[in-house]
Amino acid sequence: MQLTDEQQQIRDVARTFAQREIAPHAAEWDRAGGTPRELYAKMADVGLMGMMVDPCWGGAGADFVSYALAIEEVSAADGGISNMMAANNSPVAVAIQQSGTEQQKRDYLTKLTSGEWLGCIHLTEPHTGSDAAAIRTRATRDGDEYVLNGHKAFITAGSTSDVAMIVAVTNPSAGKRGMTTFITPTDNPGYRVIAKEDKLGHRTNDTCQVVFEDMRVPASDVLGEIGRGLGIALGNLSLGRIGVAAQATGGARAALKAAHSYAQERETFGRPIVEHQAISFTLAEMATQIEAARQLYLHAAQMRDQGLECAREASMAKLFASEMAERVASKAIQIHGGYGFLNDYPVEKIYRDVRVYQIYEGASEVQKLLISRMLDGVEG
């Protein structure tokens, strides 16, 4: 795919920022288990926190291809930070722009795009995962408010975000049409973080379990229509899957860069190991797989920008890129030998970070199921 001048410029801005402001600190922040809050304000200053939001609300007004390219660049510097960026951009900011009232946009959207606030999405529950329709969190009408009770899990930025987008059941007898999306500040008295998860990777962001205990949300903070909440939350599912493919591509690219650099410096039998065919061929295969993943996600992103149905292409991109990233990161460790197993070298962290891409936004098994259902016409 040939990028436009604007898309290349946005990619280059994201790359410069990520390599200057994130990459040098990523290992330190990983060990500390968090990221300085001011980083997200800096990201907002260069347009990364509301990329597809209209400039009248403080966004960059970029197309989806540009957003995906920027996600790859941030992920190449750190996977966890790219996940914070992704959650804030889509679904939260995009959903408020598409479905929010003018007042909600004034109250929430401009703060999200400026980096003053961070947003999080509350969909997954302890007993659910890919089966989003099985959620049990309840929202009961009480005058001009709704009272929410429930338990959410695997919430990115659950403890550090400022505004939550929450899917809850308002009509238990209506199935998927009985769910509604709410937005509320996380300092709401009924919002309580009960656990911060200790994770394999993505340690630069917080992943939490959150409970709502008689949490009152004004009816004016219903996002969109009553009963259409699942559609709002999942309406941009293809965007999320393309975004994960871009994240995986960025992580794999960082692994390749580290492996290639090490192979040029490490010597065995009197010459750099990059000159050994076993290593050079492995690097070539890694580079080819990364480029294939990039073209898959860019193709899907371009289809989305053109208003074309891209669910199949998004699932293919996510499936291939997420599984490719683990293979490439594993090969990078192998090229490092014993040093790749130590956290003195970046490939250990990269491997931990990329593993989750096969799980969230629909596990690989779900992507295969979806793709298998959309095989009609694939020969064409």
Q: Which residues are marked as active site?
A: 361
Residue 20 burial (C-beta neighbours within 10 Å; 0-12, 13-18, 19+): exposed
Which residue is listed with tokens 């291809």?
65
**Which residues are paired to 182 by β-bridges?**
166, 222
DSSP class of residue 164? Answer: E
Q: How far apart are CA 220 and CA 141, in angstroms?
A: 12
Can you tell me whether residue 184 is helix, strand or coil?
strand
CB-based contact 158:208 (threshold 8 Å):
yes
In sequence order, what DSSP letters do the residues of 292-345 get, joined into one string? HHHHHHHHHHHHHHTT---HHHHHHHHHHHHHHHHHHHHHHHHHHGGGGGSTTS
Q: How far apart are CA 210 and CA 205, in angstroms?
A: 15
Going by DSSP bridges, is the β-strand pair 119-122/163-169 parallel, antiparallel, or unpaired? parallel
Residue 253 structure tokens = 């690219």
CB-based contact 81:35 (threshold 8 Å):
yes
Q: Which residue, among 355, 123, 153, 82, has the nearest Cα to 233 in the 3D structure?
A: 123
Torsion of CA 60, 65, 68, 74, to 10 degrees: -60
C-alpha distances (whole Å) from 220 to each of 97, 146, 181, 307 are: 16, 10, 12, 31
Residue 46 burial (C-beta neighbours within 10 Å; 0-12, 13-18, 19+): middle
